[in-house]
Amino acid sequence: MELRHLRYFVTVVEEQSITKAAEKLCIAQPPLSRQIQKLEEELGILLFERGSRPVRTTDAGQFFYQHAVQILTHTAQATSMAKRISSINMIIRIGYVSSLLYALLPQIIYLFRHNNPDIQVELIEYGTKDQIEALKLGKIDLGFGRLRISDPAIKRILLRKEKLKLAIHKNHHLTEYVHIGIYLSQIIDESIFSYPATQKPNFSTLIQSIFTELGLVPKNMIEVREIHMALGLVSSGEGVCIIPESASDIGMKNLVYIPILDMEAYSPISLAVRNMDQSPYLSKVLECVKQVFEEEGIAFQFEGYQGNTA
Ligand code: BEZ
């Protein structure tokens, strides 16, 4: 059995479809089906229930899946650790969601580079969900994201909860709330632009879930491709949009920003790493986060982190 067979099997289980798995793996469907069949023959067990749509694992298949994920994760970890140990110029690959570029990510990375001149930093943009996959495959060593996604192979450290703001045109009828703040229940009749229009879950899902948590149903949510589009439409006098506080620095003309007062209205900023990762980089990165938070007067939480940041 080769590792790629385990990867094929895990992808089929996660996508619950041979077609989608084949697309994701960039191979044709018939060879993928054949490889799965060969794997079943080699193991002498049925991994999937015959004829099930979406594809469902048997009990034995589910057991095998959990162990296959562990094997792949351990292999990725071992490879990435071994590469790191063998390289003189060390590289750390950091996944990030693009909206964090408006938050404190640039300051944190700048500080990390300054404090660790021997370590090369490679920044790679990935949605929070894709970061999980990238971590498991060893494509990145850590990932900064905004969603509450959990996965048994990944440890997530909550760094802080960023407040949300409502972006409106400076002549909008809600401007009277700019200094006092507003509750989401006050905007359900507005046209609200949400973003991005990428694979879910994403920031748009987070906003939806906050409304749901508050028992609110906005009348008109319109999904657009990305934050600049949402702000541009608001700036042209159409609707409103909810953004992380830091994105108000984007500086689009004629916009003003209202603090959202609901406790539930925040975007978690977290750091994800492979569960067993003992990398010394983690504490070095967290030290930089801590230092930047101190400079900015932000209380650090680091929920889920057991190590030390000096
Ligand atoms: C922040 O804005 O809090 C932040 C952004 C990126 C990485 C870590 C923290």
**Ligand 1 atom, smallest distance to 293 CA:** 3
Q: Name the DSSP class of 152.
A: T
The tokens describing 39, both together, are 């794997």
By residue count, the chain amounts to 310
Note the pLDDT of residue 307. Answer: 66
Q: Which CATH number fits domain 163-266: 3.20.20.70, 3.40.190.10, 3.30.360.10, 1.10.1040.10?
A: 3.40.190.10
**Ligand 1 atom, smallest distance to 162 CA:** 3
Alpha-carbon distance 156 to 12, whole Å?
25
Question: From ligand 1's centre to the CA of 298, what distance in Å?
Answer: 11
Question: From ligand 1's centre to the CA of 289, what distance in Å?
Answer: 7
Q: Which CATH number fits domain 3-87: 3.30.300.130, 1.10.3470.10, 2.40.50.140, 1.10.10.10?
A: 1.10.10.10
CA angle (251 as vertex; 143, 233 as ends), nearest 5: 95
What are the φ and ψ backbone dihedral angles of 271, each rounded to 5 degrees?
A: -115, 130
If 0-12 CB within 10 Å is exposed, 13-18 middle and 19+ buried, where does residue 153 land? middle
Q: Does pTM top 0.85 for this prediction?
A: no
Note the pLDDT of residue 309. Answer: 58
Residue with the smallest CA separation from ligand 1 atom 7 is: 105
Note the pLDDT of residue 137. Answer: 87
The structural architecture, per CATH, of the domain 91-159+268-296 is: 3-Layer(aba) Sandwich (3.40)
Domain with CATH 1.10.10.10 in the chain: 3-87
Determine if ligand 1 sits within 6 Å of the CB of residue 100: yes
Domain with CATH 3.40.190.10 in the chain: 91-159+268-296, 163-266
Note the pLDDT of residue 300. Answer: 78
* Ligand 1 pocket mutation, candidates 156, 245, 269, 286, criterion most atoms within 8 A of CB: 269
ω into residue 54 within 30 of 0, thus cis? yes
Cβ neighbours for 299, distance < 8 A, ≥ 6 positions apart: 160, 293
The tokens describing 232, both together, are 């541009």
Residues of the chain below pLDDT 50: 310
Note the pLDDT of residue 310. Answer: 47
Determine if ligand 1 sits within 6 Å of the CB of residue 269: yes
Q: Where are the alpha helices (DSSP H) in the chain?
A: 3-15, 18-25, 29-43, 59-86, 105-115, 128-136, 203-213, 227-235, 280-296
Note the pLDDT of residue 82. Answer: 75
Note the pLDDT of residue 84. Answer: 66
Q: Where are the alpha helices (DSSP H) in 87-177?
A: 105-115, 128-136
**Ligand 1 atom, smallest distance to 105 CA:** 6
Amino acid code (one letter) for 282:
L
